[in-house]
Amino acid sequence: MQIFRTPAPAQWPGLQQRPQAEQNAQVLARAAAIFDDVTQRGDVALRQYAAQLDGVPDLGALRVSAEELAAGAAQVPPALQAAIRQAIQNITTFHAAQRPPAVEAEVETMPGVRCWRRSVPVPRVGLYVPGGSAPLFSTLLMLGIPAQLAGCRQIVLCTPPGRGTGQVAPVILFAAQALGLSTIIKAGGAQAVAALTVGTASVPAVDKIFGPGNRYVTAAKQLAAQRGVAIDMPAGPSEVLVIADASANPAFVAADLLSQAEHGPDSQVVLLTDAEEVLSGVLTELDRQLPLLPRADVARQALAESRAILLPDVAAMLDFSNQYAPEHLILAVADPEALAADIYNAGSVFMGHLTPEAVGDYASGTNHTLPTGGYARSYSGVSLDSFYKKITFQQLSPAGLTALAPVVEAMAEAEGLGAHAHAVALRREALAAPPAAH
């Protein structure tokens, strides 16, 4: 890790920089070419990319059959099945508590002018779940559960076929089965996002796309948004920031940093502490724990772009953290509740010495689909609300129109929009006219 001791606030912006993504223009151009190809050739293009990119020369059906789903799910060991079911219960409990009323409280803004708002599920959603050597079945739980709770009519799961096998990872199939999802597509990468956007013979088009992925998936989601399909949020490499005071356990802190660093070489971890002994202890623990990890090489690359920073006090650490706006924020301090009210930029916060970031990744109940790259300044993580639209309604009585008409007419005329004023005046005059004689 790069080590900085008491940097001046003027130096902080440089220390808050994320690792730069490589070849952005080339990635976007490649994703756009794939998008156009899938738009033109549909399923044929998806099978070709499965052969080229996934090593599956004869994929066959793009949709997972009921028989494949059952057979794959049955391969998951009972202990993992039980763990997934417990995670489902916790995630469901947390997200069900977020369910909005079908119709929010109606208000009368002035006599005869009624306004209200209704929560409506996004009708069709696409869930992208990365596969490969480490299938992220936990992501399926984080997306599938709120989609179901919201009542989305159609939920389409896209996940890459296994390299060389053409089969979806059994643990993803078990998670899908446990959630009652049946529309499962063997497609990954930018091509899957393109298919969800434009639709193919096998892949239904959707209204909103959720889920993380590599830089090609991220670029494809940007292209989807340009075509009128909503996305959950901009996505980037995973990150964690730890605020540690003198009470922190260096072994715990090092383990938390490594658990994030193992996600990928472009992940970033940041340690802020006001205790020199914690800083040196964490660095010692990193050296001890790193060689023991199965993904040590990946974590080592991430640590090379990561920072350990000694700051004068807790106030400075909070200030730095809020400027950085981390995806994950761990408060490894004696009294985390005392700091919580001063946190205003973070995706998810982990309070105290016994709350590692890993619990939120899997099973505490909160959602792990969170804003990265500083987007926590303006974006929230995925929640039940992400799967709803809010539609406003208004209705005027004769008294309401009569009272509101002069206001609207004056404002419309001032903006030079005479047709707006006329639409109101026409009704006002009709109400004022005497009844026609019979």
Q: Which residues participate in catalysis according to the annotation?
A: 327-328
State the binding site for Zn(2+). 260, 263, 361, 420
Residues 6+ apart with CB under 8 A from 354: none
CA distances (Å), origin 362, targets 26, 125, 265, 293, 385? 34, 22, 21, 19, 20
* Euclidean distance between CA atoms 176 and 169, whole angstroms: 11
Tokens of 36: 């156009």
State the binding site. 128, 191, 214, 238, 260, 263, 328, 361, 415, 420
Residue position matching structure tokens 């409990």: 93
Contact by Cβ (8 Å): 200, 37: no
State the binding site for substrate. 238, 260, 263, 328, 361, 415, 420
Four-residue CA torsion sign, 75, 77, 82, 84: negative
Tokens of 383: 């929640």
State the binding site for NAD(+). 128, 191, 214
